[in-house]
Amino acid sequence: MSAPELALIGLHGLPIIQPGDDLAALIAEALGRAGLTLHDGDVLAVTSKIISKAEGRYAALASVTPGDEALRLAAVTGKDPRMVELVLRESVAVVRSAPNVLVVRHRLGFVSASAGIDQSNVDGGEDTVLLLPLDPDASARRLREQLGERLGILPAIVVSDSHGRPFRLGNVGVAIGAAGLPALRDLRGQPDLFGRPLKISMQGLADEIASAANLVSGEGGEGLPVVLLRGLLFDATDGRATDLLRPPEQDLFRN
Amino acid sequence: MSAPELALIGLHGLPIIQPGDDLAALIAEALGRAGLTLHDGDVLAVTSKIISKAEGRYAALASVTPGDEALRLAAVTGKDPRMVELVLRESVAVVRSAPNVLVVRHRLGFVSASAGIDQSNVDGGEDTVLLLPLDPDASARRLREQLGERLGILPAIVVSDSHGRPFRLGNVGVAIGAAGLPALRDLRGQPDLFGRPLKISMQGLADEIASAANLVSGEGGEGLPVVLLRGLLFDATDGRATDLLRPPEQDLFRN
């Protein structure tokens, strides 16, 4: 049988992550238990959820006092005003509000539902929610360096989240943090099969990695929040997930 | 080493596809030469480009007479009026036109640049362009059945294309055809790690498969237009790529 061009290996045996946990240590241990040694060019896709948990990004709804704008949007959306207040604190703009819909531009730059704040897989009861990491590009860089110190190889890191999309149904994995790889890969100047320059010039590499990893980690549980991708060809660069943000003034999809 | 949850194997040795080629026969032969036997649950991601080529979806710009609307939009976009005419014939609505930008709602329902019409990797010179398959869901179903007849296993098929996106930079693989798998996977009712129902309820499974395959096939050449994905867990259903289309009236991302 042909060797796979690309292998995705879910990392089994990670504990449920707690605030303050040393993710690099836990990942290194789990790799060791699985008999896995990092290779040059390996990529680790890590869900934002376990990074948020390790960073203690919890909020208790009971401690949140909604302001006027949160109360107004809660009435529009039918959502918990305290949750709406947290969404607003994590956002720079409301893109759309409607019954059961609150789409915002997150302070990290991307557009998503409810600022990525999540109640699922949070072990503090209904009152506790989990915010996205403070700076997932920095979290990725830190994890890369810490794993490099422990294991002698600097893996590329993609911090993944799952987003809905305009025009298309279904959530897909996207990168909200990246280190050690070109999150946005420039293909300009590469010739096609017949020697002409390629028309498609930029590849959302880190987003495709997050989507691929999502096929293994699944949408739901925290079962396999770290996926090793082996065999991907890329130039090691210092790209970051913010490279993937389309500036609002360059939105080509609406008049 | 742990077995990979998911292996992506690019199919080497396919010839450059010509109009009228029997893709199922060519894929079956290439699988055989690679020593690969199809397993239950295998997915084949196939680029729309080779399906278009096999289906002879070429157009010669010299034979196209642009109409008034094409001439007007060519002036706005700076594009070849004959190319614009072809884009309009393949589309049901113009979403955005601006210098160097022509985004349309394709007759197949999705929103993309230039209706997916491509000049790269087309071996007829600058004058020849390639349209998307007439009905990629039907192409996927046909390929699945033909491979089933030849090989005794019905693989799931994803017909992939590469799209730009609102809000985010970089093209990513998306599914424009699918057969034998839930293109849009319904996760509602599945419990999370702590027994609460999942908030994220729908997964763009076929799009994630197309993005994963794109990591192997690359953005450019026709080198590996067929990628075998082995190890993916899914319920065999008769989903199709049109399941992934968000009805325009359900666009949650703009007011």
Predicted pLDDT of residue B10: 94
pLDDT band at B198 (very low <50, low <70, confident <90, very high): low
Q: Which CATH number does the domain B7-57+136-246 belong to among 1.50.10.20, 3.40.50.920, 3.40.50.620, 3.30.1330.100?
A: 3.30.1330.100
Q: Do residues B35 and A3 touch, judged by C-beta distance below 8 A?
A: no
Domain ranges, ordered by start, for chain A: 7-57+133-244, 59-129
What does the pLDDT read at residue A220? 46
Helix (H) or strand (E) holding A177: strand A172-179
pLDDT at A145: 98
Question: CA geometry: angle at B131 spanning B126 and B137, to 5°?
Answer: 155
Q: For position A181, what pLDDT does the model report? A: 97
Q: What is the pTM of this model?
A: 0.94
Cα-Cα end-to-end distance for chain B: 50
A-B Cβ pairs (cutoff 8 Å, strict): 284
CA atoms within 13 A on the CB side of B249: 0
CB interface of A with B, residues 36-75, below 8 Å: 36
Are B113 and A252 within 8 A, CB to CB?
yes
Per-residue confidence (pLDDT) for residue B220, from 0 to 100: 46
Residue of higher predicted confidence among B27 and A250: B27
Q: Would you say A129 and A122 are in contact if contact means Cβ atoms under 8 Å apart?
A: yes
B162 → closest Cβ in A1, A196, A200: A200
Name which residue leads in pLDDT, B87 or B192: B87
Q: Supply the mean pLDDT for chain B.
A: 90
Instruction: Please answer whether residues B208 and A45 qualify as being in contact, where contact means their C-beta atoms are separated by less than 8 angstroms.
Output: no
In this structure, are residues B219 and A201 in contact, taking their beta carbons and an 8 Å threshold?
Answer: no
Chain B residue numbers with beta carbons less than 8 Å from the beta carbon of A165 are 165-166, 204, 246, 253
Average pLDDT over residues B188-208: 72
> CATH number of B59-129: 3.40.50.1000, 3.40.228.10, 1.20.1340.10, 3.90.1660.10?
3.90.1660.10
Q: Which of A191, A195, A179, A196 is nearest to A234 (CA)?
A: A179
Q: Is residue B209 within 8 angstroms of chain A, CB to CB? A: yes
pLDDT, mean of residues B14-24: 96
Residue B195 pLDDT class (50, 70, 90 cuts)? low
Scanning every residue of chain B, which has its alpha carbon at the shortest distance from the alpha carbon of A188? B220
Tokens of B3: 């077995």
Among candidates B8, B110, B190 on the partner chain, residue whose Cβ is nearest the Cβ of A167: B110
- What CATH number labels A7-57+133-244? 3.30.1330.100
B23 touches chain A (CB under 8 A): no
Using the beta-carbon criterion (under 8 Å), do A224 and B194 form an inter-chain contact?
no
User: What value does the CA radius of gyration of chain A take, rounded to a whole number of Å?
Assistant: 19
Which residues are paired to A46 by β-bridges? A159, A226
Nearest to B48 by CA among B163, B183, B181, B164: B163
CB contact under 8 A, A169 and B95: no
Indicate the SS3 state at residue B60.
strand
List the pLDDT tens digit at each of the 255 positions of chain A: 456 789 999 999 899 999 999 999 999 999 999 999 999 999 999 999 999 999 999 999 999 999 999 999 999 999 999 999 999 999 999 999 999 889 999 999 999 998 999 876 566 667 899 999 999 999 999 999 999 999 999 999 999 999 999 899 999 999 999 999 999 998 876 655 555 555 558 999 999 999 999 999 864 445 799 999 999 999 888 899 999 999 887 776 765
pLDDT, tens only, B136-164: 999 999 999 999 999 999 999 999 999 99
